[in-house]
Amino acid sequence: MKKAFTLIEMLVVVGIIAVLASIVLVNIRGATEAANATKCISNMRSLCNAMNAVGMDWGLYPMAGPVTATTTGLGENTTEGWISRDRSGNVVPCYGTGNADDDIYALTNGCAGGWQEGKGDSNGTFWQAVAQNASIFCCPTFAQDLLAKRKRKPVFSYALNAAIFKSDLEDQNYQSLSGPGMAHYNNKGDMTDKGDKRVMFAELPISQSCSYDPLAKPDTCNAALQIKMTFSGVVYGNPLWKGRSEAIGFVHLDKRKKYYGHVAFIDGHVEKYMQPPASSSLKEDALTARICIGDDVAYDEKGYRFVAEAEDEED
């Protein structure tokens, strides 16, 4: 007669199975996140390639957001950002409008309008530049997080740096410029300035990885990355921006359970940035502003610092 398992033996077996299952689950999640991060990097490189292609063709980069210009002899005209407004003229947040047709319209009409020296077209110049591929507008990790928070699939998860260049009204025939993308405009002579240091695209933040909730208001989670900060008495970013300076997103989780995000630069390379710890000299918004304008930053166990600060301590 065979002896049956005792209760203790059964509990030991169940415990071993539970431990093995948890190990497998962690490995699966890690592999999934690694694949998501790889896809995210690929997306950002593709977006940079498309933006640079449009920039080379136009002689200037498209706007980060919609811009309305009043020009002498032409009156008021609006050019759409790389992601356009919806059909009612509203800026589209990353989580969409709730109307699928409006969301598709926003993707397919990026850069439409064309008051910039006759640039742009009704078919959406940027949409054509990305080969009409909607999948590259969104990071899989962001999509999973947003679906859990808002029960929606995002339209996009990246923002274009609106402060790559300062607006230059003196050399243009403009009476006024206004809108989320106005700080992005400048002449083609500045297109490659600090191309390896200035942010072009960054991931949008999710609330658990930044000090404010970017999903609380549509104007903090749109396709334009806005900064307005003062360094050494100089204001950088959009002088008309009334909100707080925005921050890049740290949406990925590494093996140490620390958040990080991807940042794509004008020259097309992508870098990994860790979420600044509490001890960091540069907080999320200041770090974002520094790399958006092309400043050098240093990272160590204490966090991020402006490079000039690090050099001063070494001297």
| Residue 229: domain span | 8-47+140-314
Asked if the structure places residue 185 within a domain, the reply is: yes
**Number of domains, the chain:** 1
For residues 5-24, give the mean pLDDT. 71
* 242-280: pLDDT as tens digits: 667 788 999 998 888 889 999 999 889 999 999 999 899
Asked if the structure places residue 269 within a domain, the reply is: yes
**Phi, psi (rounded to 5 degrees) for 236:** -110, 145
Asked if the structure places residue 133 within a domain, the reply is: no
In this structure, the dihedral spanned by the alpha carbons of residues 234, 243, 92 and 269, taken in order and rounded to 10 degrees, is 40
| Highest-scoring range by mean pLDDT, 20-29, 61-70, 101-110 | 101-110
Q: Distance between CA atoms of 266 and 71, rounded to whole angstroms? A: 29
Helix (H, G, I), strand (E, B) or coil at 140: helix
Question: Tokens 């689950």 correspond to what residue?
Answer: 25
* 193-217: pLDDT as tens digits: 677 888 999 999 886 666 667 677 6
DSSP string, 54-99: HHHHHSSPPPSS-EEEEETTTEEEEE--SS---TTSPPPPTT--S-
Strand 75-79 to strand 67-71: parallel, antiparallel, or no bridges (unpaired)? antiparallel
Helix (H, G, I), strand (E, B) or coil at 104: helix
Asked if the structure places residue 125 within a domain, the reply is: no
In this structure, the dihedral spanned by the alpha carbons of residues 128, 129, 132 and 138, taken in order and rounded to 10 degrees, is -140
Asked if the structure places residue 159 within a domain, the reply is: yes
Asked if the structure places residue 196 within a domain, the reply is: yes
Residue 6 has pLDDT above 80, yes or no: no
Strand 270-274 to strand 199-203: parallel, antiparallel, or no bridges (unpaired)? unpaired
For residues 228-248, give the mean pLDDT. 75
What pLDDT score does 64 carry? 82
Is 199:38 a contact under the CB 8 Å cutoff?
Answer: no
Helix-strand-coil split of the chain, %, nearest 5: 35, 20, 45
What pLDDT score does 186 carry? 40
* 143-161: pLDDT as tens digits: 998 888 888 889 999 999 8
Half-sphere exposure in the Cβ direction for 81 (13 Å, CA): 29
DSSP string, 203-266: EPP-GGGSSS-TTSSGGGSSSEE--EEEETTEEEE-TT--SPPP-----EE-TTS-EEEEEEET
Which helix (DSSP H) or strand (DSSP E) does residue 299 occupy? strand 297-300
What pLDDT score does 298 carry? 93
Q: What is the longest distance spanned by two Cα atoms in the chain?
A: 102
Q: How many helices (H) and strands (E) does the chain have?
A: 6, 13
Residue 167 has pLDDT above 70, yes or no: no
Question: Tokens 């000039």 correspond to what residue?
Answer: 308
Q: Distance between CA atoms of 165 and 12, rounded to whole angstroms? A: 64
- pTM for the predicted model, two decimal places: 0.81
Residue 180 has pLDDT above 70, yes or no: no
**Phi, psi (rounded to 5 degrees) for 295:** -80, 155
Is 65:224 a contact under the CB 8 Å cutoff?
Answer: yes
Residue 187 has pLDDT above 90, yes or no: no
Q: Distance between CA atoms of 239 and 295, rounded to whole angstroms? A: 19
Higher-scoring residue by pLDDT: 242, 72:
242
Residue 46 has pLDDT above 90, yes or no: yes
What pLDDT score does 128 carry? 87
Asked if the structure places residue 251 within a domain, the reply is: yes
Residue 47 has pLDDT above 90, yes or no: yes
**Phi, psi (rounded to 5 degrees) for 132:** 55, 40
Asked if the structure places residue 24 within a domain, the reply is: yes
What order do you get walking across the sheet with 67-71 strand by strand? 75-79, 67-71, 174-178
Structure-token pair, residue 285: 């918004």
Strand 297-300 to strand 303-306: parallel, antiparallel, or no bridges (unpaired)? antiparallel
Instruction: Give, as one character, the DSSP assignment of residue 275.
Output: P
